[in-house]
Amino acid sequence: MIGRAKALLQKISRRSWMKYAMRGVGGADNYERLDLAYTVSDPWNLDSPMERARFDGTDRIVESAFGRLGSILELGCGEGHQTEHFAALADQVYGLDVSDNAIARARSRLPQAQFAVADVTTQPWGDEKGRFDLVTACEMLYYVRDIDATLERMSHLGRACLVTVFSPALRRVGPHLARMPNLHKDWIWHGGTVWLVAWWRND
């Protein structure tokens, strides 16, 4: 009973904090507010069953579409929750986030991966076309101002790219994805929550 009450209190506290921290973040490249969100640990509640279902569903699609990979670059890696999953699918995993707090926790969570406080335009691991086998943007396109430029940059860096989008955000993100050539789509469901998974190859 005490444990349940504590969990409920943490949930309410997290939601209240995120409501404050995320003001003015959508579609704004607002790095300061995104870093502010990570003042608390796991601000997105990525240890929840719902998010773990998304990670597992994404893994299944990556394995089915691409098989074993040499390298994955993850945009918006946060504290490295999904990076742990990607690490089982690739020889080398790279993670980017604009939050110093998030990257510090990601490095502690997964010391064998390479992380940087950067965005897709400033990542430090080489700029050549097809530098990475797969570039991912899971649940992060909502926060960038120029989605087309981000997708173009992903397509330059990755031999293939994969994006996940929470279905209510498809009104904003969907038209940009629809312009990508050779686009493939699938869906992840957990209870009443739905995500689109979209991927394409740049060969």
| Per-residue model confidence as pLDDT tens digits over 16-44 | 887 878 888 888 889 899 999 999 999 98
Token pair for residue 137? 């943007």
Fold of the 3-201 domain: Rossmann fold (3.40.50)
Instruction: Give the pLDDT score at 2.
Output: 64
Return the percentage of the chain with pLDDT > 70, whole number: 95
Spatial neighbors of 110 by CB under 8 A, at least 6 apart, are 80, 83, 84, 87, 93, 95
Which runs of E-coded beta strand occur in 29-119?
A: 69-75, 90-97, 114-117
114-156 confidence digits (pLDDT tens)? 999 999 999 999 999 999 999 999 999 999 999 999 999 999 9
| Residue 61: both structure tokens together | 């699609």
Annotated domain spans of the chain: 3-201
Overall pTM surpassing 0.75 (yes/no)? yes
- Cα–Cα distance, 94 to 125 (Å, whole number): 9
